[in-house]
Chains A and B, each alone.
Chain A
Amino acid sequence: MNFFYGVNNNLLKSEIQIPIFQNRNLRKSNYKLFKTYPENKKWILKEITSKKINDYFYILQNDDISNNEIFFLAEENIVSIFDENKLKKFNNFTDTSPAYRANFKIYLDQGGFSSYQSDYPYSMVTKKGSILSSISSIANAEADKNFVLIKNIFEDPIEENFRAYLVNYKNKCIEDQFEIKTNYTNCIEINNKLIKPEIFLVTDKYVGVPMYVSKKNNFLSFEHTHPPHEYILSDNKFVKISNLKKEINEIIS
């Protein structure tokens, strides 16, 4: 099961196109779009009623999106089975191969736009851990500004602060750090001077999806990074990644 999300802040606007069909089976479905967000340590559930543009898509505009909201498809009975204390796997409609994705577009009023096909799989929602992402793999030192959006979704309806660090892997030091929070689309600005091969983005307590935004002359670039386990396909991938994470965690601890 996948969740979808956007961003809404004073730097970036967004639009999300959420399909209501499976990518290998273009058939109309009865699934409806719901949103949920944490409030007073409870998940609040609401149905999105007026954003269905045809039989196949919901489109959410910037005003429909908040940083603490997540969206998901479910049948009507969700209202009776929804647990306000914990996110559950409500259905498997979005468990497809290739992955079931929504188009997440960011844009500027001046015209620039960029998107990627996004999702936040339920398997990540139940996990704590850390993000490890190479800054220079995708940030652009020639851009005017670089940002990283970090989306975390955690099963409990909490808004807990945790930290993101820019770590220098060669010098074994922290170059910069930021306070971010759970169940939120966080946005941090990266100093262009830190866009170097040895700089990695890491977090200390929670996992999430890091997405990189570059901006220059009202043009935008927007893409998420691969989790480290995408680089190793053999069975020893978790050992290799765990060893690297251990090394980096020693720098931030």
Chain B
Amino acid sequence: MKSLVKKLANTNIGIFFRNSLKFKPVHLKHFTKNYPISVSDAFLWRTDNGYKTKFKYSDILALFYKIKNSWVEFHFYSKNNDLIKIEKIKNLDLSNELEITSKYLNNLEDYGTFYIYHYSEKTDQLNNQDIISNRCYLGYSQNNNLYSFVHGNTLGRFTNIFSKENISTDIVKTSFFQNHTYTIQKYFNNFDENELFFVNPTSKTIKFNIENEYFKLGPHCSILHKVKSPMISIKSNCLFLRPTIFSYKGKYLDVHHS
């Protein structure tokens, strides 16, 4: 009986109830599938306001699994989660980079998200329990100044390394109520401006409050929002909603995860 309750408590429905009642909440749930998995963070690209974005990533399959000739795919989405483009990159080095400018994104000056998936056909060097995750590094440059780097922040989507499955999501869990609060451990004082970039890492609509303002964010959509208070609390029905922070002073910029 006890083990049955434990099993039920760890199903998606069970976790949803636990999170809604704040009883042993589950923020992130790892997944077991019958295939090797490549997980991607939900990464932010920016080409608005003179921004360009640089993405640095490792060939994890070569480095840790000695698999040659693997490739990656980038999937770019608008802030409203519309697919913009997919790019496949072969001939990987141990460390690689991609520059994302407005020209690269069909002259789009905006912001949105992208994901990276590693693929291989070498089925003998991977087993069904293998899970890799490229957390990577993102650089943001405004007006061609030095890129300010930050690492990936939120596990977003995953797929089969053998390229035989659809993209899955919902590693980050949600609650029925907007009853989970996260306060950023930074004092936002002495800056000219602070922007928070939020991405919804789930397939559900999420709701959140900051500085008494209410937001609703569709599945996998993203939003940039300016904040004014020195302390920022986010009340949400998403259990892992950590924005990327852009702080400005004079002509200088600082980007980091929260």
Binding site for B on A (CB under 8 A): 17, 19, 21, 23-26, 53, 56-57, 59, 97-98, 100-103, 105, 111-117, 134, 136-138, 140, 142-143, 169, 197-198, 212, 214-217, 219-226, 228, 230-236, 240-241, 243-244
Is B233 interfacial (CB 8 A cutoff)? yes
B→A interface (CB under 8 Å): 27, 30, 37, 39, 56-58, 60, 63-65, 93-96, 129-137, 139, 145-151, 180-187, 231, 233, 240, 242, 247, 249-254, 256-258
**Chain B residue with the shortest CB-CB distance to A57:** B187
Chain B nearest Cβ from A133, distance in angstroms = 11
Are B58 and A231 within 8 A (Cβ)?
yes
Q: Pick the contact of A111 from B63, B96, B137, B250 — CB < 8 Å? A: B250
- Known contacts: A98-B182, A234-B131. The answer to whether A223 contacts B252 by CB under 8 A is no
A56 CA to B230 CA, complexed, in Å: 11
Task: List, in ascending order, chain A residues with CB within 8 A of B137's CB.
Answer: 137-138, 223, 225
Listed by A's residue number, 19 A-B pairs whose Cβ atoms lie within 8 Å are A23-B182, A23-B185, A53-B187, A98-B27, A98-B242, A105-B254, A116-B256, A137-B137, A138-B56, A197-B93, A216-B145, A216-B146, A220-B146, A220-B148, A231-B132, A231-B134, A232-B130, A233-B133, A236-B129
| Interface contact B256-A231, CB-CB below 8 Å | no
Q: How far is the CB of B139 from chain A (nearest CB, A)?
A: 7
| Chain A positions within 8 Å of B133 at CB level | 230-233
Whether the pair A223, B95 counts as a contact (CB closer than 8 A) is no
When distances are taken between beta carbons in the complex, the residues of chain A under 8 Å from B149 are 138, 140, 212, 214, 221-223
Given A19-B185, A233-B39, residue A24 in contact with residue B132 (CB < 8 A) = no
Are B64 and A111 neighbours in the complex by a CB distance under 8 Å?
Answer: no
B30 close to A233 (CB less than 8 A)? yes
**Are B187 and A59 in touch, CB under 8 angstroms?**
yes
Contact between chains at A103 and B60 (CB < 8 Å): no
Which 7 A-B pairs give the minimum distances between C-beta atoms?
A219-B146, A197-B95, A233-B131, A19-B185, A197-B94, A216-B146, A234-B131
On chain A, the residues within 8 Å of B253 by CB distance are 219
Decide if A17 touches B187 in the complex (CB within 8 Å). yes
B64→A115 contact, CB < 8 A: no
Contact yes or no, A136 B56, CB < 8 A: yes
In the complex formed, the residue of A with least CB distance to B65 is A240
How many Å from the CB of B96 to the closest CB on chain A?
Answer: 7
Give chain A residues whose Cβ lies under 8 Å from the Cβ of B242. 98
Q: What is the CA–CA distance of A59 and B189 in the complex, to the nearest angstrom?
A: 11
| Most chain B beta-carbon contacts within 10 A, residue among A105, A231, A236 | A231
* CB within 8 Å for A17 and B186 given contacts A114-B254, A137-B58, A221-B149: yes
Tell me, in angstroms, the Cα distance from A140 to B250 when the chains sit together: 23
Inter-subunit contact A221/B64 (CB<8 Å)? no
Known contacts A134-B58, A143-B146; A103/B132 CB under 8 A: no
Indicate whether A231 sits within 8 Å of B64 (C-beta atoms), given known contacts A26-B181, A26-B183, A137-B137.
Answer: yes
Q: Bound complex: CA of A151 vs CA of B62, how far in Å?
A: 29
Task: Please state if A232 and B95 are interface contacts (CB–CB under 8 Å).
Answer: no
Smallest CB separation, A242 vs chain B (Å): 11
Residues of A within 8 A of B183 (CB): 21, 23-24, 26
Report the Cα distance A214→B145, complex, angstroms.
Answer: 12
